[in-house]
Amino acid sequence: MSIAELNLGAYGSPDGPELDRLPPQDVHAEQSVLGGMLLSKDAIAEAAERLKAEDFYRPAHEIIYGAIIDLFSRGEPVDAITVADEMTKRGTLQRVGGPAYLHDLIQSVPTAANVGYYATIVAERSLLRQLVEAGPRIVQLGYGQGEGEVDAIVNAAQAEIYKVGEKRRGDDYIPLAQTLEETLTEIEVASGRSDEFVGVPTGFTELDDLLHGLHKGQMIVVAARPAVGKALALDTPSPRPPAGRPWARSPSAISCWTPPAGRPAWSGPPRPWSTGRASRSSSPTGP
């Protein structure tokens, strides 16, 4: 046996590895993910945290996944019937194999409880495919003699590899320029707004005048010292001892007191029952 024959047996061709093999994939894992999503809403949320539509190798699976996510995001029920109807409206049902293929997906999944593991497999195969796609680009950089300094070529090759990992970790981030214009527009609209009230009132007049109420998409943080009524509305009944009595030892002696309009729910001394302990009194009265 010659050396050429040894190389042929080891690599499939004298020139190196086979170039006709399929990219990394796991069709059964993709089918199990989709089948589990058609069976369980919890499985949809779990898969959505790990996968994007382009992570699927088969285009039909990418289409089905997109339809499921769209239905789920709109709060509509997700099953083989509703997904088939959604894809019929889009004109993509026959491209994925028709309603029969959706039912085959449900039958093929072992259990919807393992969708997280199946989704991890699909995500890993997708990452490997991206790595395979980066390989030829790095080869082109290596053969591009005379197109720049060697150090610059090495940095470009490293950037191609880093880009694969960053694409997975950085999907939740977007450039500041994409949101800055929208934010500035919102600020300009707010600054030129009249006295018309357009949000949800808070009950605090000066705060409402400043914010024009609470609006969709805002995160409101209420900060204050402990036990000053952060969780109470102005008309929330607040426990208070009856007039003329010392601090009560028993919660049964505490009455509910509603503050007058325009007054905070509590403006007196610290409430002993807020810590689970009552103040001692040398001569308690009452039962």
Under 8 Å between Cβ of 25 and 129: yes
- Residues 6 or more apart whose CB falls under 8 angstroms from that of 54 comprise 62, 126
Distance CA 176, CA 99 (A): 43
CATH 1.10.860.10 fits 27-120, yes or no: yes
Dihedral over alpha carbons 32, 33, 35, 41 (to 10 degrees) = 150
pLDDT of residue 17: 47
pLDDT of residue 160: 84
pLDDT of residue 99: 93
pLDDT of residue 177: 75
CA angle 155, 158, 159 (to 5 degrees): 85
Distance CA 242, CA 159 (A): 73
Domain boundaries, the chain: 27-120, 130-169
For residue 277, which of 244, 253, 232, 247 has the smallest C-alpha distance? 247
Distance CA 124, CA 133 (A): 14
From the first residue on, what is the mean pLDDT of each consecutive set of 10 residues in the chain (287 residues)?
44 47 89 94 91 92 94 91 94 92 91 91 91 87 75 85 69 68 76 69 80 77 80 60 50 43 49 46 45
CA angle 165, 42, 108 (to 5 degrees): 85
Distance CA 202, CA 19 (A): 66
Reduced to 3 states, what is the DSSP secondary structure of residue 170?
coil
pLDDT of residue 162: 81
β-strand partners of 214: 200
